[in-house]
Structure 1
Amino acid sequence: MTADAQGGVTVFHIGMRINNFRAVRSWWPVFRAMPRMLKELSEDPESGLLSYQLLLGAPRVLYVVQYWESSEKLLAYASAQGKEHRPAWAAFNRRLREGKGKVGFWHETYVVPAGAHEAVYINMPEFGLGEATGVVPVGRRGESAADRLKAA
C-alpha cells in the first residue's frame, strides 16, 4: 500500500528531551501540554491537522510527528489567540529560562511539495502519511518509488 496523498503536505516534528528526570517541575508541564493541543486540533476539522503520531525517540526523548494540510494552517494555529498553543508556549518559555537545562525542546517543519513524497506500507495498519491521507494499492500511484514520486 502507499499513501493516497494528493498534492503537498507539511510535516511537523516537535519533541522534548528530559535532561533531568528528578526535575519534574521543569518537564511535566511540557509533557502535559501537548495532549491538550492535539485534542483541540483533532476536534476542529478546519484546523488543518490531518493526523499525528506520538513516538519515543532516543533515550529520554518524546516527540510527535504531525501531518498538516499546509504550513499556513500550522502557522495560523501557532499564533492563534484563544487556542491552547500560545499560553503553553509562554509558560514553557518561562520554565525553560528557570529550568537551567533540565528539559530540552525541539521542532522541525518540512513543507513537502506535490511529487516530492513517497510512502510504502507492508503488513502495517495505516500509519504516518498513510493514516493522514488514507492508503491505496501501490500500483495506483506507480510500481516503483521513482514512479510514485513523479505521480503526486
Structure 2
Amino acid sequence: MVTTDSRPDFVGKLKGEDVILPNVKTEKVTFNKRNPIDTAQLRKDFNMVRKDLMKSMANNPEKIKELKKAGISDNDIEDMMEYGLVPDGWQVHHKIPLDQGGTNDVENLVLIKNHPYHKVITNEQNSLTKGMKPGDRKKVDFPIPKGDIYPPKKE
C-alpha cells in the first residue's frame, strides 16, 4: 500500500540548504535493496528504454506541448525525436530507484530537471538507503514526482 504525505511540498537538501520541490509529496514505499548484478543489468536495459521514451515523447503532439511548457527547446525536442537524446540539463529518473526495487516501466519514469530537483531526490535516496545491503527491506517516505515531466512548467 502506498500512502501520500499531506504536506503540500517536499523539502529536501542540496549542499546543506533546504530546497522546496513544489507539488512533490512523499509516499510510503518499501525499498528492497537489489543485488548489484541485477541492478547493473536493469541499468544496461535502461539505456534503450530511455532512448525509446524520449522518441515517444517527442513524437506525441500532446507531449510536445508539455515539453515546451516545461521550457524544453525546439532543438532539444528534435534531438529527442531523431536520436532519443535527453535534453540538456534534464535526466530520466526512476521514481522508485532500480537498486531499491524499481523497474524500467514507463510508469516508473519521469523526465526531471537535473538542478536542483533530480539532485535533491537523489540526495534523499542516498540518506534513506545508507548502509542497506542486498536483500535488506526498509519502509521509507520517499518523494515521488507525479506525471512524466517535472517540473511541468518552466520556473
TM-score, reference length from structure 2: 0.24
TM-score, reference length from structure 1: 0.25
Which has the higher relative contact order, 1 or 2, with Cα contacts under 8 A spaced 6 or more apart? 1
